[in-house]
Structure 1
Amino acid sequence: MTTFLLIRHGAHLLGGDTIAGRAPDVHLSNLGRDQAGDMAGRVGRLPVSALYSSPADRTRETAEFLSERLGLAVQILENLHEIDLGDWTGRKLEDLRRLETFGRWNSFRSGTRVPNGEAMVETQTRIVGEMLRLREKHPNDCIALVSHGDVIKAALAYFLGVPLDLFSRIEIGLASVSIVAIFDHGPWVLCVNNTGSELPMPY
C-alpha cells in the first residue's frame, strides 16, 4: 500500500482573480506562507518518507515548509506541474469569462483544450500515471505530492470514478490535504480538502 498526501500550494501574490498557470516568478504571499506553515505543522506529524513538488515557484515554496519540518529534500517532478493554460496564462478571470471557449472549458472539461495549452484529459493522464509510477517506487510508504488545485482534482476524480465534466464539484482549497491510499486491490480515498488538525490514515 502506498499512501499519497496530495497537497495544494498556499495563496500566491497574483491573488485568486488572475490565472497564474505556469507563469514564472509567482511566489507565495504572506497569507500563503502562513497557510503553508500551518499545513507543515499538521502533515509533519505523519510518517512521510518522500516529498515531491511541481516545479512552479509557489508549490516549491510550499513544499519547503514541509521539507524543513520533515528533514526531507524536495524532489521536483514535471508531471505534478499546473495545467498548461496556454493563452490564458496571466489573464484576469473577469476577462476570460467573456470568452465562449472559457465557458466550454468549464462545462466540458473532458473535450476542451485551452488555446495553445493542455487538455484536461492530458493533465489527468500525467498525474495519475505519475502516482502509479511512484507507487512502484514507494510500495509501502507515505509520500507527499505538492501540486495545484485542478491537477489534484483530476487525480481524485480518477480514483473516485467521477467524470472530468463533473470534477468541479470537488473542492480543493489552498494548502489543503487530500489522501489516497492505493492497495493491490485498488484505491481508497481517505479524505478530500482537509484543512483541519486531524488527518485520517489507513493504519
Structure 2
Amino acid sequence: MADTTFILLIRHGENEYVANHKLAGRTPGVHLNDRGRAQAEALVKLLEEQPLAAIYSSPLVRCVETARPLAAARNLPVIEEPAFLEVDYGDWHGADLRELAKLPEWRKVQHTPSTFRFPNGESLREVQNRAVAGVEMVRQRHPNEVVAVFAHGDVIRTTLAHYLGAPLDLFQRIVVQTASISVLAFHDGAPSILAMNWTATLPKLEIKTDPAAAAHPTDGSAPSGDATAVIATAERR
C-alpha cells in the first residue's frame, strides 16, 4: 500500500537577535521576544485544522519555545532532534550581520555557499546533509501522518533547496520568515513541495483512503497504480 507523509517545516519566532540584526546561531539562552511569543501562539490557530501526529524541534530554546504552545494545544510532546539544530557559525556567533556583510567571506556565503565553511564552524553542505537526513528519518518514522518540525532559517532553506533539486549555491534565493510554514509532501517517498514561507492559514491537509481518487487523483499528482493506495488532498479554505 502506498503511503503519504506531510512534513511542516516551521521557522522559530522572532527573538532579539533577529530584531537587532545579530546572528544568534547556537548562542545559548536566546529566547523569543514579545512578537515571537505572539507568533508562536498564532501558529496554534493557523494549524488548528491540521491532523498533527508529532512535533519535532531543534533543541535550541527559541525553537522549543515556538513549538510549545502548539504542543500544549495538541497534548503532544516536543521531540528535540539535533538534526535540526541551527548552523554552527563558529566565530561568527553573535556578530552583527551588517558588519559581517562587509567581510570578503560574505560574498562566498551569498554566491558560492557550497564552497564555504564558517570559521571554526560547519559548512553549509554539512548542514544540508544532516537536516535532510533528519527529514528522511521523520518521514520513515511517520508514514501516513502529518508532522511539524520547528527549525531555523538556513536549516529550512538548505532543506528546501535539496527537495527542489536546486543547487546549494542558489539556496539564498529562498525566503523563510520567522514563524513561517513550508510544506513537504512525500508520496511513496517521492517528494513534492506544497508551500514555502506560508504565514497565513494553510489549506487543510488530509490523508485518506479513496480507491477512485487514487486511480484518478484531483491534486495534480500522477496515478499511483494501486487502487487501495493512501492519497493526500489539500483543500483551500
Distance 1:138 1:73 in 2: 15
Distance 1:158 1:44 in 2: 29
**Mapping of 1:17-96 within 5 angstroms?**
17-96=21-100
Task: Give the aligned CA root-mean-square deviation in angstroms.
Answer: 1.2
Corresponding position of 1:136: 140
The Cα shift of 1:98 comes to 1.8
Deviations 1:163-182 (A, max 9, x none): 11111111111100000011
Identity across the alignment (%): 39
Corresponding position of 1:189: 193
Q: Secondary structure of the residue that 1:87 maps to in structure 2?
A: helix
Q: Decide whether aligned partners of structure 1 residues 5 and 79 sit closer, same or farther in structure 2, where only a CA change above 3 A counts.
A: same
Distance 1:165 1:200 in 2: 33
Runs of 4+ off more than 6 Å: none
8 Å Cα contact 1:3-1:182 kept in structure 2 = yes
Structure 1's unaligned 5+ residue stretches are none
For 1:193, the aligned partner's letter is N
TM-score (normalised: structure 1): 0.96
Corresponding position of 1:4: 7
Which stretch shows the higher mean deviation, 24-33 or 63-72?
63-72
For 1:5, the aligned partner's letter is L
Deviations 1:32-57 (A, max 9, x none): 01111111211132000000000111
8 Å Cα contact 1:13-1:28 kept in structure 2 = yes
TM-score (normalised: structure 2): 0.83
Which stretch shows the higher mean deviation, 2-11 or 33-42?
33-42
Deviations 1:86-119 (A, max 9, x none): 0000001122112111221121111100001111
8 Å Cα contact 2:49-2:204 kept in structure 1 = no
Higher gyration radius (CA): 2
The Cα shift of 1:198 comes to 2.9
Structure 2's unaligned 5+ residue stretches are 206-231
